[in-house]
Amino acid sequence: MNNQSNPSSKDKVGPPTDRRSFVGLLIGLIWAGISGTIAGVAARFVAAPTVTSASSSDWTVVGPVKDILEGKPNKRDVLIQQNSGWARFNSLRSVWIVKRDQKTTVFSATCPHLGCTVDATANGFACPCHGSSWSAGGERLGGPTPRGLDVLESRVAGDTQLTASAKVRTIARGA
């Protein structure tokens, strides 16, 4: 018999190097690249609203400080930009400005109970819908409202313009 042996497939050492293996590897790499790109875009889309910070465009001009009367509630309509997840909305909202001893406080004119527009009274503020009332400092006096008036963040820009933000400053107030 012949001692010469033919190399069989069992004698090959190492990974297969045929064309099918290369195409399979190439398809796997392309699939992994596409999947990684989609996952990265989706993660950025979902996480974007949680990592964005407030910018100076979130502040809106309420009016000149000199036009705000001392000791009397002043009502102004302001355009406020609000971010709601992935969308930005502009809404016209009313605010009450109270100026005492050069300290200015901006209250939302929206009732915390059901969203009616709050009116000024001789003693402070009142809701015409359900009879809630607040002092001139925004503290709850009575009615079905669960809390005092919402206070908006405000600042004086350049000693002339009062600006306010849509962000509500939460203040613990007695019920």
Q: Which backbone phi and psi does 104 adopt, to 5 degrees?
A: -110, 130
Q: Where are the beta strands (DSSP E) in 56-160?
A: 59-64, 74-84, 87-100, 103-108, 119-120, 124-126, 133-135, 140-142, 151-157
Instruction: Report how far apart the first and last C-alpha atoms of the chain are (Å, whole number).
Output: 107
| Largest separation between any pair of C-alpha atoms in the chain | 122
Prediction pTM value: 0.56
Written as six digits, the tokens of 105 are 């406080």
So where are the chain's domains?
16-51, 56-169
Q: Of the candidates 63, 43, 44, 53, which has an alpha carbon nearest to the alpha carbon of residue 104?
A: 63
**Could you tell me if 139 and 109 are in contact, meaning their C-beta atoms sit under 8 angstroms apart?**
no
Count CB neighbours of 158 within 10 A. 7
What is 56-169's CATH superfamily?
Rieske [2Fe-2S] iron-sulphur domain (2.102.10.10)
pLDDT in tens, the chain (175 residues): 555 555 555 556 655 567 788 888 999 999 999 999 999 999 888 877 666 554 445 677 777 777 777 778 888 887 777 666 667 777 778 888 888 877 888 888 888 888 788 888 888 888 888 888 888 888 888 888 888 888 877 777 766 666 666 555 444 344 3
